Structure 1
């Protein structure tokens, strides 16, 4: 290629990049709000540092909110936040599953930079599990840690799911925590293995925790959301005279649905809709507390979801609305999530924002609004770009705008979006055992015209655009240093447990004189999953226990310390977690040396 040709190509790429940027700006200008938004009072400059509140749903899709057209689910309080603030229509989670998405939200950094991925080809092994010893790294700065430097107090309520071995919110910058350490389906009650020693230590009953202490185990889900709501309301009233950062992280509408009786059969959408509506009522109660505390006009509230809906759950999962794909995929339905910001008198109501932004941008945005110069510290927020100016024009635009949206599956960069154009280099089903499938030529979509990604554009007719996208794809990958995958680090007894000898009657500190199974059934009688995958897990785990009982009965006594149990388990199986992992993840356990027991696992 001649120098002249190279220069012409570089100029063409520059023009394409500039054009893509103009498309974003034009879309933002065009999406400035509804026709009647002009009747609202003109937003003013912020008067002092606001408090920040994030309402974080779990697995809620665009099609699950009334404002976006959900026909049989009623969400008046979420709708109110959207109407009374700015609706971000192109807001992207940091990943399409829970743990990496939440890590990106908390730190403003791409999860792959922290090692929050796995190289084990298991469809479920994409988040932190009870048996993981790893966590979001302790040297990462969270939003809570950042705001602490501006004299904010902080509190985390609800589901965490970023690690639990010295890795709870109070170990990661927050002043307080009241909630559950990981998803409410990751426990012996759901898997049906409450009374199987050893197995139920790897996956014990789910604990309810305050700071780093277990309050009860198993957690009582007949009142969990009520207690989370009361905790958030109490925090608001106790800290109304100082700036604070509050995260209310719901386990709804993630499966299994454990809605209290008073919410059952309220929604025409069935148990899923009941779950969404229970969460919406809680949001309304916390919003009322903010108003009653007299801080409504100085509190920036946002509502969003950690990723798209889990449609693989069938009727118990949600809806991505017009988007293709869902949780676990890098199609739009996996990472493009509901998001709206409300701040009376500062954010103009009934407005819509069409600029693509990432959940990782919250780190720099909140820091900017709190008066911190985040960009002056190079170790902070590598991937976060403030969009405070999109909330109120009195904030100066960030010196460095977001160049693109990046879609990862583990550490594979699957797709990239710049302006309205999205390029898929790889595609993959949500929960399957296949490796990502290379797309050659890549799939190109105009997401503004085709949010459902149903009509791929001709690559040959858009070569300059494809070149620009691939150039940014390569540039971004070059900025990511190799990391060891954190999801691949296991230990038999890593999960929180309140019992000093948790092998015969493990981890029960709630109901005296009851077995763990009885306790679990007493607090959540309808909680056990009925899915085929969970049935397979229960069968495999019980078969594993039968094999342990037959081959190594001393494991099932209370005469061994936890270290001796782990050592004996390792000598029996070969690896301390491999068979348990395989059982819990629904795979086929390795029976090398135990071929005569193979029928147990059939």
Structure 2
């Protein structure tokens, strides 16, 4: 039995490497069914660790999802919604405690290389949120003057940020092709410099969010076009970072976590990924928007070659890291639940039984308990019935489609196609109670409820 074979935990605190990929669909790894390219380094990571198949992003949009990951909270609890634009004058509130701040108190060095998207004003940048080093882009790299939609007129030039200072401008797709290699180089250098002390390395890659570009080493190498090229290069990046851990003798005392912020942006067609058969994609509270490919490896601690189907979320990563490192939990309320025992191989544990699907500013669109998911009638995005775009140009989407009330059993119907609402009134009543408690706590715009325990988003001090 896998539980009996589970290895003994390491006595020392682990280094943490956290990959957070942008707009990666559930079906975008070869280990999860991708076609036209291979992701051998990620397949190997899965073989050496545990793959979680029921792992949820907290919301299916950039800033909200990242706020949730780093704070262990549903993003609406910390006032974050949507994707902050360059002139948003908002960011993650300075009083919120991030993973980086918690582990710094335990002697960890902290670095982020990649996309931040939690406020682009200096007071919200990573060095003010617990990170010792930062090199990357402040928000999504389509928020620039070359945006394919009419919003391009309002976007300023996009620059790399080094620490708190703006660096080289990202002007064109050739510059975009430098994102993955430059971030990889910085991450590898961080490992080399900090090999003799514990570290937390956060690698939120900006790709495969559009616009897509790959370096000359990978351009034209896949059968899937530029999207496959980009995924091959991201897989290479993961491999380079894992290779450096091994070269420095750190691979056996490093917890590696790989996941994504939300599902694929499906109306970009051949420039978008695959939801792996789940319904809808980015910007929706259906499984295709929020269920993410997730792999975790800690050699000698996490069982190798294992698949866990237990319900978990990105909000559970913070309390789990806190327990593993001895860090104190944030002073303010969080929503995450630690899953250390499950992570280490005890499959009798079920840390999370319920999950709330919030979207837009603060709309409770669905609730879940175990395999049952109750959808509330709501206006929202749908990609269905509309031809996707091609070659980097987006196709149309309906943003206010009226999704009807429905009940799905995800064990039998992971694609959310067969509404069994009428046959299961007792299940509906149980899920309604969960929803009512959520509305009292966090509110619900659909029912015009504010919620008692939401905290404010950060607002630029100059405003």
Change (3 A) 1:262 1:192: farther
Larger Rg: 1
Task: Say whether residues 1:188 and 2:138 are aligned partners.
Answer: no
Write 1 or 2 for the structure with the bigger share of strand: 2
Provide the alpha-carbon RMSD of the alignment: 2.7
Task: Say whether residues 1:455 and 2:418 are aligned partners.
Answer: yes
Task: Report the equivalent of 2:430.
Answer: 468
Q: Distance in 2 between matches of 1:216 and 1:146?
A: 31
TM-score by length of 2: 0.88
Conserved 8 A contact 2:262-2:292: yes
Change (3 A) 1:83 1:394: closer
- What secondary structure, in the 3-state scheme, does the structure 2 residue paired with 1:63 have? coil
TM-score by length of 1: 0.68
Task: Report the equivalent of 2:266.
Answer: 311
Structure 2: gaps spanning 5 or more residues: 384-396, 444-449
Q: Distance in 2 between matches of 1:455 and 1:461?
A: 11
> How many equivalent pairs are there?
435
Task: Say whether residues 1:144 and 2:109 are aligned partners.
Answer: no
Task: Say whether residues 1:96 and 2:60 are aligned partners.
Answer: yes
- What secondary structure, in the 3-state scheme, does the structure 1 residue paired with 2:280 have? coil
Conserved 8 A contact 1:131-1:490: no
1:224 CA displacement: 2.8
Conserved 8 A contact 1:188-1:203: yes
Q: Distance in 1 between matches of 2:99 and 2:288?
A: 26
1:73 CA displacement: 2.1
Q: Distance in 2 between matches of 1:91 and 1:192?
A: 32
Please show how residues 383-422 of structure 1 align to structure 2 within 5 Å: 383-392=335-344, 401-410=351-360, 411-422=362-373
1:172 CA displacement: 1.0
Conserved 8 A contact 1:107-1:140: yes
1:430 CA displacement: 4.2
Change (3 A) 1:395 1:149: farther
Task: Say whether residues 1:479 and 2:436 are aligned partners.
Answer: no
Q: Distance in 2 between matches of 1:190 and 1:258?
A: 14
Write 1 or 2 for the structure with the bigger share of helix: 1
1:238 CA displacement: 1.1
Task: Report the equivalent of 1:251.
Answer: 206
Q: Distance in 2 between matches of 1:266 and 1:391?
A: 36
Task: Say whether residues 1:237 and 2:192 are aligned partners.
Answer: yes
1:164 CA displacement: 1.0
Please list the CA deviations of residues 381-408 of structure 1 after superposition, one character each: whole Å capped at 9, or x if unmatched: x20100111111589979xx43411111
Q: Distance in 1 between matches of 2:24 and 2:177?
A: 21
Change (3 A) 1:461 1:192: closer
Conserved 8 A contact 1:388-1:395: no
Structure 1: gaps spanning 5 or more residues: 1-31, 118-125, 194-198, 495-602
Q: Distance in 2 between matches of 1:76 and 1:363?
A: 28
Equivalent of 1:208 in 160, 163, 175: 160
Please list the CA deviations of residues 48-78 of structure 1 after superposition, one character each: whole Å capped at 9, or x if unmatched: 1001101111111122110011121211111
